[in-house]
Structure 1
């Protein structure tokens, strides 16, 4: 299923039309996390395509321009400068990664251009604390909130005390690692083991062997999708029996695609958006309807596709509120007016100077059939 809908991401790699309303996006469409990057781009394109099919914004179509950064912070900065200076983007949408955003914030590119960015595939506190850019509007809960939920279940409800961690050696891994240590300290606990892997190679062999020998009661995975898949397989092959809990950057479809349903079964993942198959929510039903225009085989796209779609919806709402001939400052001001904005069972709140619009977190687990239980 994942392979099929990622093919649709090719639709966003060329401009939809020559238009005055340019929305830029820099994501990895090559490399270790290309699957998630393409999915974020596809999600945004789904909603922009719907808007264009219905006449655009005040009669103007949206030109969604996507640049590949390969999960490289320097390329993210270069892409963003190009989107602002050469493409004339009014807003940016659904970026990927803690390390990339950390570098982007250091450059003050967004602040200097006065351009809003809606949606970042990262829950790092460093991107949300006082001093971070006010031009970044986050659509997902933080890693700290995800980890608090996991630790509360393990230590608070299940009585698990011997908890270890495997983490990516970069800003993402450090963010999650720090949050995990803090969450354990609140309960007078400490990590019983830790292992790290290189973000560029994604090789988890050493980490899996070390933690399999330690065999704690639970391991928290601060990883991305492909390293999560290889870690699970290697850890189990090494005799590890611990419960495995991952964070939202892990896309469960990519794990299944990499190691199969049998190996993936039992991996728990915290999620920061509603389940893409939860048709009780109007937001999800509308998402499925728009996705069906591209995914004609009836498959349901992933959380990452939904994340890009959500960010695009918020950008469009801001563009509508900004009026005809919108400016970057008008779009920015419109975003700040989204106070408890209900998209149909999912609420985003940027009112009262908030820059984290949602605190939604739920725990899921990959079932033997390859679906998620919640």
Structure 2
């Protein structure tokens, strides 16, 4: 072979190798709408107004956390664009905002949309569009249905499991008690009622002496509290959002009613519920927790809470560390950041969903010791542990052991 021929052959080989290498490099980066070499667009829907506006701080915290991520260089070199809209806790508005995020803003996925009614309204749409509906801010059991809704996944423990834990506590501490239940008249409230009833088993019929439901459009639930007290209940179960939980605590105090008082974990914020209801009225109330309380002295030297406080100081100074919803938003954003890191340069919706559904024991700074994030293709319920707590003084105090809610799901 002549010198020229050898040079041409070598050149041709180099071109072929370059083509293979170039193709491989390109193949390593895969994007769907909402992702590029420099950006990841995340959508979010929150009730910044309306009857559940106390939860709006979750979206504000998540936005602040992604600002922190961006200031530190982004995720795998990409900056986060976090687009959050208000739905006023209105399902029709949630549908409108979801369509806007997907069809106009072109987000890669929707993260942490809040509320059972709102997420129920958009679930079918998100799944038909094959856009991930990630880490839903609601504990309804319906988010753990990977066969029917493979693009929807929850985050917090489910309401039925939480209520079963309360049932177990009641059967142990007050087996002959009379239970009055206040609940929101939608999937959110009914999930809790079902969990409590299932947990009480055969004793439910004799122990539950009253059930009072309310609509989110009701200005007050005072008359429901009066009715439950008049019905002879000495155990008061409140399955409500923050606004109505605060009303229930305050009204019970005004009535001088001192039942065994249990409230759901999603309405147990010291700042948004207990203090507005009156610290004196909140004493002795029972709830459950899966995340730390930043005001609890036992976490004073905790590295995770120190990092949380540093985050608030630098990126969200208006955030109230006494408000559990702030820590909630911080933890959800951390979970999402971890999933995106695992995705690497494959930022397709299918790959994001795959990694969200394959979290293996993720430890987060804001969760109680022993509580981990774990998902699989067959199980879309990330958190399954609780610890009971009682409100004493101006804060919650944990008691008992970490309880798993996996049984019976």
| Structures share fold, TM-score greater than 0.5 | yes
Residue 117 (structure 2) pairs with residue 96 (structure 1): no
Query: In the alignment, which of 347, 351, 368 is matched to residue 326 of structure 1?
Result: 347
Q: Specify whether residues 118 and 104 from structure 1 end up closer, same or farther in structure 2 by C-alpha distance, changes over 3 A only.
A: same
Q: Specify whether residues 352 and 225 from structure 1 end up closer, same or farther in structure 2 by C-alpha distance, changes over 3 A only.
A: same
Shift of 1:129: 4.4
Separation in 1 of the partners of 2:322 and 2:42?
22
Residue 345 (structure 2) pairs with residue 348 (structure 1): no
Residue 104 (structure 2) pairs with residue 86 (structure 1): yes
Separation in 2 of the partners of 1:128 and 1:335?
13
Q: Which has the higher contact order (CA 8 A, sep 6+)?
A: 1
Identify the residue that residue 358 of structure 1 maps to in structure 2: 383
Separation in 1 of the partners of 2:376 and 2:300?
28
Contact 1:119–1:139 (CA under 8 A) maintained in structure 2:
yes
Render the CA deviation track for 1:228-282: whole Å, top value 9, x for unaligned. Answer: 1111222232342211101022133212342321122232222232333435655
Separation in 2 of the partners of 1:360 and 1:186?
25
Contact 1:215–1:240 (CA under 8 A) maintained in structure 2:
no
Identify the residue that residue 34 of structure 1 maps to in structure 2: 53
Separation in 2 of the partners of 1:324 and 1:128?
27
Normalised by the size of structure 2, how large is the TM-score? 0.79
Normalised by the size of structure 1, how large is the TM-score? 0.86
Query: In the alignment, which of 86, 104, 128 is matched to residue 68 of structure 1?
Result: 86
Contact 1:98–1:122 (CA under 8 A) maintained in structure 2:
yes
**Unaligned ranges ≥5, structure 1:** 1-18
**Unaligned ranges ≥5, structure 2:** 1-37, 399-409
Contact 1:45–1:309 (CA under 8 A) maintained in structure 2:
no
Identify the residue that residue 149 of structure 1 maps to in structure 2: 165
Q: How many residues align?
A: 352
Identify the residue that residue 373 of structure 1 maps to in structure 2: 397
* Superposition RMSD in Å: 2.3
Separation in 2 of the partners of 1:114 and 1:301?
37
Shift of 1:321: 1.9
Query: In the alignment, which of 4, 9, 24 is matched to residue 43 of structure 2?
Result: 24
Superposition map of 1:223-372 within 5 A: 223-250=240-267, 251-277=269-295, 278=299, 282-296=303-317, 300-324=321-345, 326-344=347-365, 345=369, 346-368=371-393, 370-372=394-396
Contact 1:21–1:60 (CA under 8 A) maintained in structure 2:
yes
Identify the residue that residue 201 of structure 1 maps to in structure 2: 218
Contact 1:340–1:351 (CA under 8 A) maintained in structure 2:
no
Separation in 2 of the partners of 1:186 and 1:307?
35
Render the CA deviation track for 1:302-326: whole Å, top value 9, x for unaligned. Answer: 2212222222122222222222362
Contact 1:94–1:119 (CA under 8 A) maintained in structure 2:
yes
Identify the residue that residue 138 of structure 1 maps to in structure 2: 154
* SS in structure 1 of the partner of residue 378 of structure 2: coil
Query: In the alignment, which of 44, 66, 75 is matched to residue 57 of structure 1?
Result: 75
Q: Which moved more, 1:341-350 or 1:62-71?
A: 341-350
